[in-house]
Chain A
Amino acid sequence: MKTAQQIAHEVQSGATTAVAELGRALDAVRDRNEELNVFLYVDEAGATSAAHAIDERVARGEVVGPLAGVPIALKDNLCQTGVPTTCSSKILEGWRPPYNATVIDRLLAAGAVPVGKTNLDEFAMGSSTENSAFGPTRNPLDPSRVPGGSSGGSAAAVAADMTPISLGSDTGGSIRQPAALCGLIGMKPTYGLVSRYGLIAFASSLDQIGPFSKTVMDSAILLEAIAGHDPMDSTSLPEPAPSLVAHVNDGVAGQRVGLVRELVEGADADVVAAVEQARRALEDAGATVVELSIPEFRLGLSAYYLIAPAEASSNLARFDGVRYGNRIDADDVTAMMEATRTAGFGAEVKRRIMLGTYALSAGYFDAYYGQALKVRTQMIQAFHRAYQQVDLLLGATTPSVAFKFGSKTSDPMAMYLSDVFTIPTNLAGEAAVSVPFGTGEAGLPVGVQLLGPGRSEARLFAAARVLEIADGRS
């Protein structure tokens, strides 16, 4: 399987064509999509015409861009003009957005070819892609196991060699956790680095779009192409995209790395062993690793599972059968809205809407939501203190390798614990990357997590590249 970097280079030089690369991607989708349920929609016509346009531009001698002719899969919570966008929810089934998310405009400008929309936990609420209204996605490495979530379809598309890269979104770990479970690089960028315009909102103060890939270089190329200020998202950082590709091979010599006790606490032995090996690899490459404790991380899960549902209960109020999506008719408008939402939302979405509504309701606001916002402040301060001592933090991405279907669906708390190591970064609005490192139970990949302060993506990619080399993958 070629990397995105190779494909773009070969398309630009004429060694291959965008149409041929798309054909290979579509063949791979046809081979395994029925088994794995990765794509909810394949936009064969749109992708074919985009690929032809790229080839014509190359033929005219134009320099197309860093993703020239690269097929890409998109999480189905990203709006694409005229292409069905469901958030894996019955409430939006059949809806075709009248506009592109900013990331899609930027992908097209970079020469990428969007192949289709991938499965997710409904409205990105989940850690296994089992909450999709359109059936679960299977892990390509072991179809009896989950791919993780909520961006499980985007992870599986890359793991199954359907596309070399994909986009997901990460609110509490929804890129890094599936990347870990599928053996991929998954980056959650600094809050505001990538425009959220056209990303259907789950929890607006936490959501961030980011890349999946098999190589660190592809992740840097993709993130550089989509990052940078967007006037359509007033929370996007005010500066242009940072230089990332140029720093991938910077190494870690002289870097100080903190191995965080709370980011391995409770993890399975195979996961702890992989983190320990990653520590040694970083030391061998010239980094100094010290052990740290950040006790505030233990409160992240509790704060997150009040803050994210509170924001979701407000964001999902817009799905009321009036402006988009489906409607269940009733005699008056209130009955229509209630019937529409009751029929349209799945159990996990209802659970979180109710949890958030409760946490925001009169009499409970201070005790729950208010207290969680103060814990969030403490989390940010704790990160800040750590980064006065070290440049990066190291830990596990998830407590275990990919788990079996149904093993956590009856107990929401057990499922939520999958995100215990990824949540602190979202609460603080900072950056982190999951890197596959070694293998664990049943030969499945283990994800090691590198965390950095805001705008540290270049440093994170450089450290991830050190682990990639040490793990013998290119």
Chain B
Amino acid sequence: MSSPLRREDVAHVAKLARLTLTDEELDRFTHQLGQILEHANDMSSLNLADVVPTAHPFDLINVVRDDLVRPSLDRDAVLAMAPDAQDGRFAVPRIMGEAP
């Protein structure tokens, strides 16, 4: 964790996050994210092997409601605000490549 971040790491993360970065952004983010991770290194020296992690302030258990039909958002009102809709559904560009 000492030399935290390389340029290719940032490029890989951008791909995972579905973001395109320019060369200038890659340089800048590598520097800035490296600084933030370096600050986080003050946690790395702590021995926390026996500490239980907390992901949420409550001890969450499943919350269920009665199995009854209730009104929900109006489909047409939702689709009216979508970038593209067709036949009562969200529409997107093609997902699969051409058939071989």
Contacts and interface: CB of A to CB of B under 8 A. Distances in A.
Interface string A366-381: 0110111111111010
Nearest to A316: B17
A389 interface: no
B17 A354 contact: yes
A413 B43 contact: no
A332 B1 CA distance: 37
A191 interface: yes
A351 B37 CA distance: 12
A122 interface: no
Given A192-B58, A374-B51, A357 B43 contact: no
Nearest to A366: B53
Contact of B40 (A97, A99, A325, A372): A372
Contact of B73 (A99, A305, A351): A99
A60 interface: no
Interface in B1-35: 1, 5, 9-10, 13-14, 16-21, 25, 29, 32-33, 35
B69 interface: no
B81 A324 contact: yes
Interface stretch (A147-155, A261-269, A274-282, A334-342): A334-342
A336 B83 CA distance: 12
Nearest to B50: A374
B43 A205 contact: no
Nearest to B20: A342
Given A235-B58, A339-B20, A299 B29 contact: no
A333 interface: yes
A303 B36 CA distance: 11
Contact of B95 (A96, A333, A373): A333
A327 B93 CA distance: 11
Range class of the A interface residue count: 35 or more
B19 A412 contact: no
B92 A374 contact: no
B54 A377 contact: yes
B54 A373 contact: yes
Contact of B83 (A313, A321, A332, A335): A321
B99 interface: no
Contacts of B97: 332
Contacts of B19: 338, 341-342, 345, 350, 353-354
Contacts of A450: none
Contacts of A129: none
A324 B55 contact: no
Interface string A192-228: 1000000000000100000000000000000000000
Give the most central of B16, B18, B84, B97: most A CB within 10 Å: B18
A381 to B, nearest CB: 9
A308 B3 CA distance: 22
A306 interface: yes
A205 to B, nearest CB: 5
A180 B82 CA distance: 39
Interface string B34-77: 01110110111010100111111110100101000000011001
A342 B84 CA distance: 19
B63 to A, nearest CB: 4
A351 B93 contact: no
Given A336-B92, A350-B19, A374-B48, 9 more contacts: A299-B43, A303-B43, A324-B82, A332-B97, A351-B32, A354-B14, A372-B43, A374-B51, A429-B57
